[in-house]
Amino acid sequence: MKELHDVEEVVAVSSSFWKCCKYCSALKMSQDSIDEQVNHYLQHGLKLLHIGAECSRTAEGAIWQSTVAVLGKIKTEP
C-alpha cells in the first residue's frame, strides 16, 4: 500500500457481529471467525489496515469485548 489516501473503500469486520460479504454476498460469513472473515476479504484484494480490540457493554451492563479489523480497497491506477 502506498498511502492511506490511496484507500477508496473501507470494510470493517468484528467478532461480535456478522454480515454478508460486500463483494460476493457470501452468506457463510455469518458463521466465520474473525480470521476467516479477514482472509475472505484479503482474497478479494483488500489490504488489512488495522486490527484491534473494542469494548462495549451489554444491555445488562456487563463488559463485552470483541476483535475488530478494518480492511481497505486500494485505488487502482487509471
pLDDT one-digit tens code per residue, 4-46 = 778 889 999 988 877 788 888 775 665 668 888 899 999 999 9
For residue 78, what pLDDT is reported?
64
Radius of gyration of the chain (CA): 14
Query: pLDDT of 51-73, one tens digit each?
Result: 999 998 989 999 989 999 999 99
3-class DSSP state for residue 45? Answer: coil
Sheet strands (E) in the chain: 7-14, 47-57, 63-74
The HSE-up count of residue 47 (CA atoms within 13 Å, CB side) is 13
Q: Which cell numbers hold the place of 29?
A: 460469513
pLDDT value, residue 43: 94
Task: Compute the distance between CA of residue 69 and CA of residue 34 in angstroms, rounded to an integer.
Answer: 8
Task: Return the pLDDT at 19.
Answer: 79
User: pLDDT value at position 31?
Assistant: 60
